[in-house]
């Protein structure tokens, strides 16, 4: 068996020039990026899931990739920029066929996913399943690297999360009765509870450094503003109420984990500040408008971009970089870059207690 394993290792080196795994020894400061969450971070996992929540068609991807990849933007996502800042390649979708090497990390995010398994159940990769996929990767890497090297690898990696928005949107835009069964505070507690369980599961596998965004004024995205009667420019406040409760509960949960979990460090980007600033004063940040570039109806808030969903007709702007939103519910590449820069090197008033640059360097 020993000689067979040596042969396989040499074959991998020759055929694909991947020598990090075969050497069973990584560079001292090698750090990977593991990504969890929803469409804000999904690079195309939903291309391989039986779902209607896909963006693998024109005009998605046209700005940077020049073709659709499954990303819900005209170009790169926040997680793509973070990988670049960390001197890593763009982390491909975990479900992408042939994606079997995870030495630079893995991206499990799925458009429409929530912390709760019931959120768009059957159409997305929920957070619990994303954790299960991570554990598969962790098992593979332990086999490839050996237990000691793998534990060092996982402790140096950064685990990036964005989840919860879909948990708050779905009950208020469907015939769900969950908020009749649970109070708003109880429901938010369930979302935060599932997130903390996932963090604890990763910590048990060796993860120590985590990055998060809070949710901010979720009810002010075009797809929710369009639900307000009269279309007078107001935000959809029922969703904002849940988001505000979430943004109060999440820091407390992370502070408790900091006490409970050994060597736990985290970065929290305050999207409630950065996003609100761009909503209220888009011109200051280089945007002509805070409506969507692609879609239809008021604010282009009807989810019709690309004409592959319920509504076939849509409008498309000539320059996505002039818009805060690319489609009715997702940021343009330019906005993603601005937010990612604040996450990477922002000061504690906007990203704290660590920024992501500091996490990667510690």
Give the Cα separation of 322 and 332 in Å (integer): 9
Give the Cα separation of 207 and 237 in Å (integer): 36
Residue pair 219/226 in contact by the 8 Å Cβ criterion: no
Tokens coding 3 = 């000689």
DSSP one-letter string for 172-227:
GSSS--HHHHS-HHHHHHHHHHHHHHHHHHHHHTT--EEEEE---SGGGSHHHHTT
Residue 33 φ then ψ, to 5° = -125, 120
Name the catalytic one among 110, 205, 330, 340.
330
Tokens coding 157 = 């990696």
Residue of 107, 68, 62, 73 lying closest to 88 (CA atoms): 107
Give the Cα separation of 271 and 306 in Å (integer): 28
The interaxial angle of helices 237-260 and 184-204, nearest 10 deg, is 40
In sequence order, which ranges of 61-125 are alpha helices (DSSP H)? 78-85
Residue pair 93/340 in contact by the 8 Å Cβ criterion: no
Q: Is 330 a catalytic residue?
A: yes
Residue pair 299/287 in contact by the 8 Å Cβ criterion: no
Pairing of strands 158-162, 209-213: parallel
- Cα pseudo-dihedral 249, 37, 332, 254, rounded to 10: 30
In sequence order, which ranges of the chain are alpha helices (DSSP H)? 2-16, 20-23, 78-85, 127-145, 147-156, 165-169, 178-181, 184-204, 222-225, 237-260, 271-280, 333-345, 356-361
Name the catalytic one among 38, 39, 42, 321.
39
Name the catalytic one among 167, 304, 327, 332.
327
Name the residues annotated as catalytic.
Answer: 39, 327, 330
């Amino acid at each position: 068996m020993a000689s067979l394993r040596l042969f396989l290792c040499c074959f991998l080196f020759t055929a694909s020039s991947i020598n990090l795994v075969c050497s069973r020894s990584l560079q001292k400061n090698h750090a990977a990026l593991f990504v969890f969450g929803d469409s804000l971070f999904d690079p195309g996992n939903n291309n391989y899931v039986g779902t209607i929540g896909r963006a693998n068609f024109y005009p998605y991807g046209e700005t940077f990739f020049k073709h659709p990849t499954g990303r819900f933007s005209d170009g790169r996502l926040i997680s793509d920029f973070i990988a670049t800042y960390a001197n890593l390649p763009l982390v491909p979708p975990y479900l992408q066929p042939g994606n079997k090497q995870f030495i630079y990390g893995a991206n499990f995010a799925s458009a429409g996913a929530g912390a709760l398994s019931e959120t768009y159940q059957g159409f997305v990769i929920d957070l619990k399943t994303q954790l299960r996929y991570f554990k598969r990767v962790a098992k593979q890497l332990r086999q490839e690297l050996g237990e000691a090297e793998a534990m060092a690898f996982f402790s140096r990696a950064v685990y990036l999360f964005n989840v919860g928005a879909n948990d708050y949107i779905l009950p208020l835009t469907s015939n769900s009765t969950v908020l009749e069964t649970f109070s708003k505070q109880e429901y938010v507690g369930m979302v935060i509870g599932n997130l903390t369980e996932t963090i604890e599961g990763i910590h048990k596998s060796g993860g120590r450094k985590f990055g998060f965004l809070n949710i901010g004024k979720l009810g002010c995205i075009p797809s929710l503003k369009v639900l307000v009667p009269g279309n007078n420019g107001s935000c959809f406040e029922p969703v904002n109420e849940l988001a505000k409760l979430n943004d109060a509960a999440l820091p407390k949960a992370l502070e408790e984990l900091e006490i409970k979990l050994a060597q736990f460090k985290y970065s929290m980007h305050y999207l409630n500040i950065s996003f609100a600033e761009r909503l209220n004063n888009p011109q200051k940040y280089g945007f002509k408008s805070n409506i969507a570039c692609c879609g239809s109806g008021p604010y282009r808030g009807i989810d019709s971009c690309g004409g592959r969903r319920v509504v076939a007709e849509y409008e498309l702007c000539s320059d996505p970089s002039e818009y805060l939103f690319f489609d009715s519910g997702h940021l343009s590449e330019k906005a993603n870059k601005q937010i990612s820069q604040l996450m990477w090197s922002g000061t504690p008033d906007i990203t704290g207690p660590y920024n992501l640059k500091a996490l990667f360097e510690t």
